[in-house]
Amino acid sequence: MNILVTGGTGLVGGHLLYNLTKSGEKVRAIRRDSSDLSAVRCLFESLGAPRSQWECIEWFEADILDLPILEDAMIGIDYVYHAAAMVSFLPKDKHVMYAINVQGTENLVNLCLSHKVKKLVHVSSIASLGRTDKEETISETNYWKDSKHNSNYAISKYNAELEVWRGIEEGLDAAIVNPGVILGPCFWEKGSSAIFDKAWDEFPFYTNGENAFVDVRDVATAMEMLMKSDITRERYILAADNYSFREVLWSMADKMGKKRAGYEAGPKLRQLAFYIDWLKAFLKLGAQTLTKETARSAGSKYHYSSEKAAKELGIVFKSLDEMLDYSVPKYIAFRNK
């Protein structure tokens, strides 16, 4: 066994584990002692994986912030896929998110160097490329710029990337992928999967903000391609296209047989929603789900180019229809249980 996957209990990590074990490859995956494996099991079962495929995974209890235990997990490892990260836009999560995303990546890079790992593939985000006031198309040539539009999550992912670039300068072969908003099934309690809930529950409001979206299968495939290639010192934006949140929400609703959201949430309404959500949390009537950052970004238009990945890796990204045809039936089955 010589492959290690961090973040194996997440959307990207779970699909990567499925791909890697299809041929009987043995893989070690890090999990915290509190991690729930049910979503990964759901994924394997939904894709018809035999029990023998699941048994190809060695689940190793470790935390990327616990250096001694993480070092034990690295014994005998030649190739590392780093998909572990925390995604949050809540101010209260800032420090722990920074620790996981930045310090955790620093720990992993240092161990890759000391254990002479042959290659690291790091999952970053389009958020790490920074955002500006201009509606420009962002590519891999863009440089980070300090801006009020950069969330704490974006800052943490940018600084995590700096640790990878530092490792490269110290002799580590590594490549970085910068996915857009990732859509995929089974991990319904986390991250971008919340948009499926909005469509299912016939949430009445939509925004005309735009962002890049990508199928999780394309992300996992790109990571494998990079690991098997001689490519190093490179980063790749992974995005099928730039879609409006309205288009995504409406397409989901149509495929679920649900009513489309009928009212546009403009700036004033989004701001009001934030204050109501904050007050609800303040009065301990529920958890806070909106922030000023998410309210603002929901109406912003960010455009990204994945031309480099298409040209150099030969990836033909799945369309929005293909993404939803893969995920929506599994979501419907989940909600109808």
Distance (Å) of CA 337 to CA 176, 290, 318, 331, 333 = 38, 28, 28, 10, 6
**99-108, 204-213, 221-230: least confidently modelled range:** 204-213
Q: Where are the domains of the chain?
A: 3-187+212-241+304-326
Question: pTM of the predicted model, to two decimals?
Answer: 0.93
Whether residue 278 has pLDDT greater than 50: no
User: Is 35 in contact with 61 (CB distance < 8 Å)?
Assistant: no
pLDDT beyond 90 at 132? no
In this predicted model, which residue has the larger pLDDT, 204 or 229? 229
**For residue 42, what are the CA distances in angstroms to 27, 58, 80, 81, 328?**
19, 17, 24, 21, 14
Count CB-CB contacts under 10 A for residue 320: 17
CATH number of 3-187+212-241+304-326: 3.40.50.720
Helices (H), 170-266: 194-200, 216-228, 245-256
Please provide residue 137's backbone torsions phi and psi, each rounded to the nearest 5 degrees.
-85, 125
Flag whether pLDDT at 277 surpasses 60: no
Rounded to an integer, what distance in angstroms lies between the CA atom of residue 287 and that of residue 305?
A: 35
More confident residue, 54 or 148: 54
Q: To the nearest 10°, report the CA torsion of 336, 54, 219, 292.
A: 50
What per-residue confidence (pLDDT) applies to 275? 44
Q: What is the pLDDT of residue 274?
A: 46
- Cα separation, 131 vs 141, in Å, equals 13
The whole-angstrom separation of Cα 154 and Cα 53 is 35
For the chain, give the percent of residues with pLDDT over 70: 88
**At 337, is the pLDDT very low, low, confident or very high (cuts 50, 70, 90)?**
confident
